[in-house]
């Protein structure tokens, strides 16, 4: 039996691939820009989150897709932004110096259309203030006719291996759910040098305007996020944990998390940290609320550390 404690003395500190997090919650890539937008929200502090994953960044600037790029769905959201960003040089030289790295962990998100692109962007971020680098292997491979790197384990592993050669920072491989065997993909990414795994990226979907009979998203298809995908994401975390857990490889669980109960489910399934995304659009202060609820849960169940919850699923 754990020694009785006072809730005010509890904390949510956790370790994620060598990074000290003050909370298991992270803000997901694409949902908070490059971190500076949230400083405008009254009452928000970066100290409320364990880390912020910056917007997906490519080698050259990108304007992104044509409108419409975002569409609200029942219990979720479709997006096809098209990786709009100013390019890695602008991010590294202009944006990163404006961030207060003492408040939280900032993590780069690297995207590319070729393996060479991934490697070059990773190398540039290696010589920057980011704490880790997330590799978005769900991007299309233009040399393979637009086939996504993330849907094939061998291709995913090649991207991770190329990036591993270019950095000593922790690498997080962001896994796609749009594939046959996510466990095999996780295994090969780990063998290629990934220090952690992001599970999962968005699920491909679409929406149609019945009056015009045209796709609502200009790109036709987009990534579905939000509570609608949570049960799928939770299962994927459990499956990946079967591979990653015994090796001590942490998982950043993500997909429809919108409450402390959601967070707890993902931790129990095997996630070490969790990503909050779509929920931020309607409740920007949700992480502060989640942290309070997690502390209360730990006190109620006499739990001293978040690590006591991770991977505690009873089968």
Active site residues: 139
Residues in the chain: 315
Name residue, tokens 């704490």. 131
Closest CA to 110 of 128, 88, 78: 88
Tokens describing residue 50: 């364990």
Tokens describing residue 20: 């000290």
Q: What is the C-alpha separation between 148 and 138, in angstroms, rounded?
A: 6
Q: Report whether 107 contacts 275 (CB < 8 A).
A: no
Q: Report whether 82 contacts 64 (CB < 8 A).
A: yes
> Cis omega (within 30 of 0) on the bond before 73?
no
Q: What is the C-alpha separation between 99 and 288, in angstroms, rounded?
A: 20
Q: Alpha-carbon Rg of the chain, whole angstroms?
A: 19
Q: Report whether 150 contacts 193 (CB < 8 A).
A: no
**Torsion angle of C-alpha atoms 177, 161, 116, 196, degrees rounded to 10:** 50
Q: Which residues of 282-310 are buried (b: 16+ CB within 10 A; e: fewer)?
A: eebebbbebbeebbebbbeeebeebeebb
Indicate if the alpha-carbon torsion angle 36, 139, 273, 120 is positive or negative.
negative
């Amino acid at each position: 039996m754990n020694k009785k404690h006072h809730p005010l003395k509890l904390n949510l500190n956790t370790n994620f691939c060598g990074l000290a997090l003050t909370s298991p919650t992270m803000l997901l890539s694409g949902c908070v820009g490059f971190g500076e937008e949230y400083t405008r929200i009254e009452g928000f502090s970066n100290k409320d989150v364990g880390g912020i994953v910056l917007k997906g960044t490519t080698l050259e600037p990108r304007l992104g897709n044509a409108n419409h790029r975002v569409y609200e769905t029942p219990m979720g959201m479709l997006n096809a932004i098209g990786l709009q960003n100013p390019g890695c040089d602008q991010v590294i030289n202009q944006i990163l110096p404006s961030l207060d790295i003492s408040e939280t962990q900032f993590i780069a998100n690297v995207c590319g259309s070729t393996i060479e692109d991934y490697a070059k962007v990773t190398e540039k971020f290696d010589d920057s203030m980011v704490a880790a680098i997330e590799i978005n292997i769900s991007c299309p491979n233009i040399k393979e006719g637009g086939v996504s790197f993330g849907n094939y384990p061998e291709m995913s592993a090649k991207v991770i291996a190329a990036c591993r050669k270019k950095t000593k920072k922790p690498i997080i491989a962001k896994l796609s759910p749009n594939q046959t065997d996510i466990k095999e993909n996780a295994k090969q990414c780990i063998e290629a040098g990934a220090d952690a795994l992001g599970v999962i990226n968005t699920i491909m979907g679409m929406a149609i305007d019945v009056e015009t009979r045209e796709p609502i998203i200009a790109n036709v298809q987009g990534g579905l996020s939000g509570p609608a995908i949570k049960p799928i994401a939770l299962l994927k975390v459990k499956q990946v944990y079967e591979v990653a857990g015994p090796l001590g490889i942490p998982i950043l669980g993500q997909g429809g998390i919108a409450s402390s109960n959601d967070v707890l489910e993902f931790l129990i399934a095997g996630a070490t940290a969790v990503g909050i995304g779509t929920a931020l659009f309607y409740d920007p202060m949700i992480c502060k609320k989640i942290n309070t609820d997690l502390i209360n849960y730990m006190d109620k169940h006499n739990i001293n550390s978040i690590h006591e919850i991770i991977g505690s699923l009873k089968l």
